[in-house]
Structure 1
Amino acid sequence: MSRVVGTLEKTDLDSREMLDHPHARYAHLRENHPVSWATATGLLQGKGGYMLTRYDDVQFVFSDERFSTDVMKNSPAGKFIWLLPPSLRMLAQTMVFKDDPDHKRLRTLVHKAFTPKLVSTMAADVSKIAEELADQVAAMRDVDLVHEYAVRLPMAVIATMLGVADEDRDKFQFLVEKLGNQQGNMLRGFPTARKLAKLFEELIDDRRLNPDEGLISELVLANEGGDRLSHKELVSMVFLLLLAGHDTTANLIGSSVLALIENPDQQQLLRAQPELLESTAIEELLRFTSPVADGAARFALEDMEIHGVPIPRGSQVLGAITSANRDESVFEKPEELDLTRKPNRHLAFAFGIHYCLGHQLARLEGRTALATLVERFPNWELAARPDDLRYKPTVSLRGLTKLPVRMY
C-alpha cells in the first residue's frame, strides 16, 4: 500500500486497504507526513500528486487562489481533451473544473435555480419517496439497503427534479447506475454518457417549449444581466447536478445506517431524540462518513512550499477530506461518532468557491431518509460479517457497494 518515494511517503488510494480501512493510514500521515505522495486512478493524472491530510492544509488548498481546478488550462491531458467525444468533454468542462471568473459566472446563474426556496418545495416529495421505499424494505426479510433504499431515494428525487417521465424512470436509473460504475474510465463510459446526454437534451428542448416549475426550466430561464447558460452549458450542468447529487447522497445514507448499527448507543440516542437530525446529528454523520473522500485535484499555479516540502508549479495537489474530517487538532475524539457534536466544522461539502451547491438538498435527503428508517423500523441488524463489507472502487467518492441488513 505504501512506500517511501524520495523523502515522501507514497499511498496508493486505489488499494483495497485505503478504500475499506483508510483511517489508520491517514492518522499516521497527519502526524508524521502531512505532505505525502498519492496515486489514484481517475483522480490524479500520470504518476500522481501531493496529498495533504491535515484539516488546515486541506482547507488551505480549497481556498487559496494559487491553486486551480481548471484541467483544460493546467493539465497536460487538457491539450488532448478535444479528442474526447462531446458527451465526455462536457463532463470535464463543468464548473467543478473552472476557476473564477468562469466559475463565478456559472455558479451565479445556476444558484438562481437552486435556491433554498426550491429545495424546500422538495421536502414533501422526498418524504413520499422515502415512505414508498420503506414500504418495500418492510416487505423483505433481508435487504441490500444500498441498492433498495440508499441509491433509489436520491435517484427518484433527481428524476423528479429533472422532470423525467414515469415511463423513462427505469431507463434513467439504469444509465445513471451504469455511468457511476464506470467512473475512472471515461472512454468505457462514453456510450452511457452519450445516452444520458441525449435524454437531457430532449428534456431541455421540451422545457424550452413547455416550461414548468422544475429545475431544468429554472436553469433554462436563469438570467444574470442578459447572460444565460448556453445549450452545452445546460447539458453539462444537468450532468453535474446528477453525478454530484446522486452518488454522494446515496453514500451518506448507506454509510450512516452502518455507522448507527455499529454504534448502538448513538442509534438509541437518535431514537430518543429524532429532532437531533435537524441539527447536530446529520452534520456529525457527514463528518464521520465523508461521502466525498477527496476534493477535485488542484494544480499549483506557482512554486511553493508546504511543511518544508517544495511543491513545483504545475504539480497536482489533493486535499483528503476523509482525513481532514478526523483531524485530532480540530475534532475531539474524532474516531467516535457523537450525534451531539458541536461545533462541527467538517469539510464534507468542501470549502471556498467550490463549496457544494447542493448541500441543502443533500442534507434534506439524508435527514428524511434516516428519519423514515428510524421511525419505521425499531430494529436494525447487519446481515453480513463486518469484514465482508466493501467500499466502491471510486477514489473520489466513498460509499458501500452493498449493505445487507434486516430491518423490522
Structure 2
Amino acid sequence: MSKVIAAMPKTALDSREMLDDPFARLAYLRAHAPVSWATASLLLHGKGGYLLARYDDVVTIHSDERFSTDVVKYTSVGKFIWLLPPTIRMLTQTMVFKDDPDHKRLRTLVHKAFTPRFVRAMTPEIAAIADRLADEVKAKRDVDLVHEFAVKLPLAVIASMLGVADEDRDRFQMLVEKVSSESNTLRGFATARKLVKLFEALVEERRLRPDDGLISELVRANEGGDRLSHKETIAMVFLLLLAGHDTTANLIGSSVLALIEHPDQQALLREQPELLETTGLEELLRFTSPVADGATRLATEDLEIRGVPIPRGSQVVGSIVSANRDEAVFDNPDALDLTRKPNKHLAFAFGIHYCLGHQLARLEGRAALATLLERFPNWELTAPRESLRYKPTVSLRGLTELPIRMY
C-alpha cells in the first residue's frame, strides 16, 4: 500500500455502521477527506478502492471517459472469466459493464423496446397491483411491509412485463427472492441459473409466438439491421429483473419509514397528494438513496482527484448516499423536505449509465405510496426503530424488514 493510501481515512463500506447509519461518517469525509480509502468484499472485487464523498466528484466519475465500468477489460476478471459462474459471465456482457461504443449499441437497442410509452401503458396495471397488495395488508393489519408489499409490487410488475404465466408466478417470485437473499453464496449462483433457464424458455416462446410484451419487443428491436443476440436478450432480461425489483422495493420501504419518522411531511403529503407527481417522490429518492454507491469505476489512466493521485487500474467508488446529502448542493440536506426544488439528486446515477428504468421506478414508487396513503390513515412501527437493519449489500441500500401496523 502506498504512503498516500496509508495516510488516508479508511472506511469499511460493508460494516454495520455504514450499512445502517452512514451519514455522520460520510459528512466527516465530505468535510475532511473527500477522497479516501474504502474496502468492501464484493463491490471492490475483494480489494480496496478510492471512495469519493462529494457530489461534484461522483458526477465526474459517472461522466468522465477516463473512468470505465468494463471489469473484463480493465481488471483480472478478463483473464479468468471462464472460471466465473455462467450467470456472472453473462452479466459482465450487459451494458452496465460496457463503455461506448458497445454501451451505446446495447442501450439503443433496449430503448427500442423499453420505451416511455411502453412504461406508461403499465400505469393501470401497477395501480391495480398496488391496490390488491393493500387489500392483503388490510386483512393482516400487522405486516412486514418490505416482504409483504414493497418486494411483491415490483416483482408482480416485472412478471407481467416479461409475460411470466400465472401458473409460474409463485415459482418466479420464490426464485427471485432466493437469488436476492443468497447473492453472496454459491447457492445464489445455482438459483440464478434456474432463473436464467426460465428466461431462456420465455425468450424462445416469444420468438415463436410474439406478443406485445417486453421480451417480444426486445426480440424485435432493430437499429440499422442490428439486433440483440439470443444471449444478449437473456442477459438484458436478467439485468432488468435484478436492477428493477430490489431498488424499487428499497425505495418503497425506506420511503414509508422516512414518512413515519417525519410526521409533518407525511401530513403534508396526505393534504397534498399531488406532491408525489412533482417534488415529493424526487425528495424521497434523494433522502433514501436506494442505490448507495453504484457500479465501481476503473481508472483507465493515471490521474488526480482533488490532488490525490489515482493510478491507472485503480477502483473508484462514488458514494451516491453522500452526494445526495452534500451541503454544497442541497440546503439542509439531512432534512426531508417534500417541496424541495431544485433537486438534482443522483438516485438514478448520471451520464451514459443513467438508470434505464427510472421511469418505471418512479411510476411504481408513486403508485405504492399513493395507495398506502389513501388506504391507511395510520402507520405505526411495531418494532423499536433501533432494531431495524439494512441489507448487507454495499451497492444497494434497503431495509431487511419493516414491521408495521397499518389501519
Q: What is the TM-score normalised by the length of structure 2?
A: 0.98
Is residue 58–residue 318 contact of structure 2 (8 Å, CA) maintained in 1? Answer: yes
Aligned AA for 2:210? P
Q: CA deviation at 1:182?
A: 2.5
Q: Tell me, in whole angstroms, the C-alpha distance in 2 between the residues paired with 1:349 and 1:184.
A: 24
* SS of residue paired to 2:396: coil
Q: Deviations over 1:54-100 (max 9, x none)?
A: 00000000000000000100011221112223223112221100000
Query: SS state of the match for residue 233, structure 1?
Result: helix
Q: Superposition pairs for residues 199-238 of structure 1, below 5 Å?
A: 199-238=198-237
Q: Deviations over 1:332-363 (max 9, x none)?
A: 00000000000000000000000000000000
Distance of 1:83 and 1:6 partners within structure 2: 33
Structure 1 unaligned blocks of 5 or more: none
For 1:162, the aligned partner's letter is: L
Q: Which runs of 5+ in 2 are unaligned?
A: none
The CA distance in 1 between the partners of 2:339 and 2:266, in whole Å, is 12
Cα displacement (A) at 1:188: 3.7
Q: Report the alpha carbon displacement of residue 7 of structure 1 after superposing the two structures with TM.
A: 1.5
Structure 1 residue 274 and structure 2 residue 268: aligned? Answer: no
Counterpart residue number, 1:32: 32
Cα deviation digits, residues 75-126 of structure 1 (max 9, x gap): 1122111222322311222110000000000000001111110001000010
Q: What amino acid maps onto 1:267 in structure 2?
A: Q
Instruction: Report if aligned partners of 1:256, 1:285 keep a CA contact under 8 Å in 2.
Output: yes
Output aligned runs, 1:122-133, within 5 Å. Answer: 122-133=122-133
CA distance in 1, matches of 2:335, 2:141: 30
Confirm or deny that 1:239 pairs with 2:216: no
Shift of 1:48: 1.1
Q: Any idea what SS the aligned residue of 2:400 has?
A: coil
Residue 78 of structure 1 corresponds to: 78
Could you tell me whether the CA contact under 8 Å between 1:43 and 1:184 is conserved in 2?
no
The separation in 1 between residues aligned to 2:390 and 2:299, in whole angstroms, is 30
Looking at structure 1, the residues matched to 90 and 117 of structure 2 have their Cα atoms a distance apart, in angstroms, of 28
- How many Å apart are 1:5 and its aligned residue? 5.2
| 1:165 Cα deviation after fit | 0.5
The equivalent of 2:262 in structure 1 is 263
State the identity as a percent: 75
TM-score by length of 1: 0.98
Match of 1:395 in 2: 394
- Would you say 1:139 and 2:139 are equivalent positions? yes
Mapped to 2, the partners of 1:399 and 1:78 lie a distance apart of 31
**Post-superposition offset of 1:307:** 1.2
Contact 2:26 2:322 in 1 (8 A): yes
> Secondary structure of 1:302's partner?
coil
Match of 2:315?
316
1-structure distance, mates of 2:14, 2:339:
33
Preserved contact between residue 279 and residue 338 of structure 2 (Cα < 8 Å): yes
Q: Is the 8 A contact 2:179 2:188 kept in 1?
A: yes
Within 5 Å, give how 1:79-158 maps onto structure 2.
79-158=79-158
Amino acid in the other structure paired with 2:228: L
Q: Which runs of 4+ in 1 moved over 6 A?
A: none
Is residue 207–residue 216 contact of structure 2 (8 Å, CA) maintained in 1? yes
